[in-house]
Copies of this chain bind each other. A is one copy, B any other.
Amino acid sequence: MFQTPRGTRDFLPIEMIKRDFILETVRRVFESYGFDPLETPAFEEWNLLAKKGSGGEEIKNEIYYFKDKSNRELGLRFDLTVPMARVVAVNPQLSKPFKRYQIGRVWRYDRPQAGRYREFWQADVDIVGAKSVEADLECIVVMVEVLKKLGFEKFSVRLNNRGVLNGMIEFVDIPKKKSPAVFRILDKLEKIGDKDVKKELKSEINSKKVEELLELINRRGKPEGILKKEMKALGSNDTARIGLEELKEIVEKAKVYGIADRIEIDFSLVRGLDYYTGPIFEISVETKKNVGSVAGGGRYDNLIELYGGNWTPATGISLGVERIYEIMEAEKMFRLPETKTFFFVLCVDEKLKKNAIRIAQKLRKVGIPTQTDVMGRNMKKQLEYVNSAKIPFVIFVGEKELKSKKFTIRNMINGEQKVMNIETILKVFSKLIPLS
């Protein structure tokens, strides 16, 4: 028997209905903030994906690489940011800010494990052409709105700034060439913990500097408070000062969106990809059983120039669709049917088939998802199918019903029956269709 390739999955209707609910919600919120859709190919030139500084460096070994039959070197995209940056580079005519969203699959040849797949979906918004932190904030706000609309109540936004991190490196006087290694170690904080991070850092730089750095990084407290303290400690360094001022502005302006109390400053936040240049952020949701980062992003002002475009500031955020799905599933947050079909028009007698089809067509015409028998089954078999397919409503079509023009509708979940004429059915049920 053929299986899906390792690390990939099929999504049967019962799962797809939930995934569609997520993606539709995401799309609506993205569009409500004025983001327009963009689509790019599934694969890109290998040189684009593997370019140093594009984020490709650290996940180069995870890219699905192949050659086409003309020996072109290609790779499946590993995120949606790199293709978008290419699009902007080759399309300088696009009005700025260019606000685009993209929802789609990406591939990484990672070791498959619980909740990690080799093919997975991301949903991104990016604002290109805006240098102001208002753009960064808007990206955060959009994603918070997505989470609210999906039903999450508790979430937090962790915020840092690559400028602050770079400033710390300068301030503590760590050689600049060490900073990628230092960031890589800091990035593992959640995974390996304080103690091991300290140990690893000490293998790279001298102990005193490690202690100094960790003191700067470990400051905790209310955003305004720790930003003020950090400014006192670091403000003499220009890079750090600018970064801290940006963070202050974000915290301040978050108030108008009503999300200021969800923001935490976390100087240990690094985010792996090396293309970030300014504010970086990560959103976590807190539920009964789960706490975890579900979205993250940041500013990457140099990426578009790296691909041959004009220097163009940009910022964006990416939602991990698989993570959201798993949490919503674990928390039983989905309230969705197992099929999109709403009605089954049951033909009591095969010779009335035409009548059943005509009624089905009327329901379909007003947008009510409807099935009718296509297998010449008798009434009992049709009902068995309705039950196994979990179709919620049945309308019975027999001689009597056609004569009286009144039809029995059975709610298959609670067994209730009602008698109605077709016009009433259309009116009542077209309003019941779940937003689709």
Chain A 107-120 interface 0/1 with B at a Cβ cutoff of 8 Å (1 = within): 10100000000010
Query: Complex Cα distance A109/B213, Å?
Result: 53
Task: Give chain B residues whose Cβ lies under 8 Å from the Cβ of A131.
Answer: 375
Copies of this protein chain in the complex? 2
With A32-B370, A86-B2 in contact, is A257–B357 under 8 Å at CB?
A: yes
With A5-B43, A16-B38, A357-B256 in contact, is A134–B374 under 8 Å at CB?
A: yes
Chain A 39-76 interface 0/1 with B at a Cβ cutoff of 8 Å (1 = within): 11111110110000000000001001111111010101
- List CB contacts (< 8 Å) of A92-117 with chain B: 94-97, 99-100, 105, 107, 109
Task: Give chain B residues whose Cβ lies under 8 Å from the Cβ of A65.
Answer: 66
A192 within 8 A of B: no
Question: Measured between C-beta atoms, what is the minimum distance from A166 to chain B in Å?
Answer: 24
Q: B43 and A8: CB pair below 8 A?
A: yes
Q: Which residue of B lies closest to A104 (CB)?
A: B105
A221 within 8 A of B: no
A33 within 8 A of B: yes
Q: Which residue of B lies closest to A87 (CB)?
A: B10
With A2-B47, A36-B340, A99-B371 in contact, is A256–B354 under 8 Å at CB?
A: yes
Among listed A150-158, A266-274, A295-303, A361-369, interface-contacting one: A361-369
**Of B20, B74, B376, which contacts A5 at CB under 8 A?**
B74
- List CB contacts (< 8 Å) of A173-212 with chain B: none
**Of B32, B39, B45, B109, which contacts A10 at CB under 8 A?**
B39
Closest 6 CB pairs of A and B: A66-B66, A34-B371, A13-B36, A8-B41, A16-B37, A11-B39
A-B contact pairs, 11 of them (CB 8 A): A3-B90, A28-B367, A28-B436, A32-B364, A36-B341, A61-B69, A96-B375, A97-B374, A132-B376, A134-B373, A257-B357
